[in-house]
């Protein structure tokens, strides 16, 4: 018996808008190995995540969509996804920034390896921090929260009704400031310890100038840094969870703002 599968034009347009929102999110989403995938495979990931969200997307009125309006809607949906993706990406950047603060003081800045995600030279601690933060994104369950909120955004802010808001951008700036705070809290204890060691060695060098301390202390500082980082690993997880809660709070607040704007109106020229 032949089966007639008919897909209306409004569902196709709704799917394109949902796909635009999800694609903007995936640009910055901290998924390990996503950037290493072939370019022909990456759109399939966005398609696979957009199809389940389509069920909650309301259909568009047939007479409301034309080429110019659809382009405007797609751009607004990409901006929505980029806003959320950038906020979630701050979770990784906080760890990477803290590792950059620490790398030169600990001596790891003298060595660099190839970053598997960008194929560029990067410090050892930066790559390690990036991989750990990406894995913690899944270990702490933040990926489920982000996808759940994305599904809620499809229901509460229908595709085509999002308007960029300065209040959300202002909150994103404050979240970026919190990223620098988390990076400092991650790196400052070890930096302070290494600074005390350097001051002690400087005083010892003034007393006994014939001692060649640099060749002996350099590997010792590397080993001490790794030891202290291992001892503080549980603290790093707690800081990640604290900052993750701030990111989720930002997503919820931006969703409430967008839902309020969508309830009052739509894009210029929209229905």
Report the pLDDT value the prediction gives residue 121, as an integer from 0 to 100: 55
The position carrying tokens 């930096």 is: 191
If 0-12 CB within 10 Å is exposed, 13-18 middle and 19+ buried, where does residue 203 land? exposed
Report the pLDDT value the prediction gives residue 204, as an integer from 0 to 100: 72
pTM score, whole prediction = 0.81
Interacting residues of 31 by C-beta distance below 8 A, sequence separation 6+: 134, 137
Report the pLDDT value the prediction gives residue 50, as an integer from 0 to 100: 87
Report the pLDDT value the prediction gives residue 1, as an integer from 0 to 100: 45
Query: What letters, b where the CB count within 10 A reaches 16 and e where it falls short, cover 68-107?
Result: ebbebbbebbbbbbbbbbbbbbbbbbbbbbbbbbbbebbb
Task: For the chain, 271 residues long, give each residue's pLDDT as a single digit of tens.
Answer: 444 445 667 777 888 888 899 988 988 887 776 766 677 777 888 888 888 888 777 766 555 667 778 888 889 899 999 999 999 999 999 998 888 888 777 766 655 555 545 555 556 788 888 888 988 999 999 999 999 999 899 888 888 788 888 888 899 999 999 999 999 888 888 888 888 877 877 777 676 666 666 666 777 777 777 788 888 888 889 999 999 999 999 999 999 988 887 776 544 444 4
């Amino acid at each position: 018996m032949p089966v007639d599968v008919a897909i209306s034009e409004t569902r196709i347009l709704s799917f394109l808008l949902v796909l635009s929102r999800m694609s903007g999110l995936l640009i910055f989403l901290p998924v390990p190995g996503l950037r290493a995938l072939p370019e022909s495979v990456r759109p399939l990931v966005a398609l696979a995540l957009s199809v389940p969200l389509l069920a909650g997307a309301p259909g568009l009125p047939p007479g409301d969509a034309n080429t110019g309006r659809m382009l405007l809607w797609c751009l607004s949906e990409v901006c929505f996804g980029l806003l959320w993706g950038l906020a979630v990406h701050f979770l990784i950047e906080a760890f990477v920034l803290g590792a950059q603060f620490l790398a030169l003081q600990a001596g790891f800045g003298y060595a660099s390896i190839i970053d598997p995600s960008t194929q560029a030279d990067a410090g050892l601690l930066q790559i390690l921090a990036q991989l750990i933060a990406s894995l913690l994104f899944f270990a702490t369950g933040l990926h489920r929260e982000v996808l759940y909120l994305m599904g809620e955004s499809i229901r509460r802010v229908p595709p085509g009704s999002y308007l960029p808001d300065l209040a959300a951008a202002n909150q994103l700036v404050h979240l970026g400031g919190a990223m620098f705070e988390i990076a400092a809290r991650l790196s400052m204890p070890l930096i302070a310890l290494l600074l005390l060691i350097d001051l002690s060695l400087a005083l010892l060098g003034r007393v006994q100038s014939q001692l060649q301390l640099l060749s002996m202390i350099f590997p010792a500082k590397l080993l001490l840094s790794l030891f202290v980082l291992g001892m503080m690993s549980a603290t790093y997880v707690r800081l990640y969870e604290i900052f993750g809660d701030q990111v989720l709070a930002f997503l919820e607040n931006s969703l409430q703002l967008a839902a309020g704007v969508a309830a009052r109106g739509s894009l210029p020229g929209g229905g």
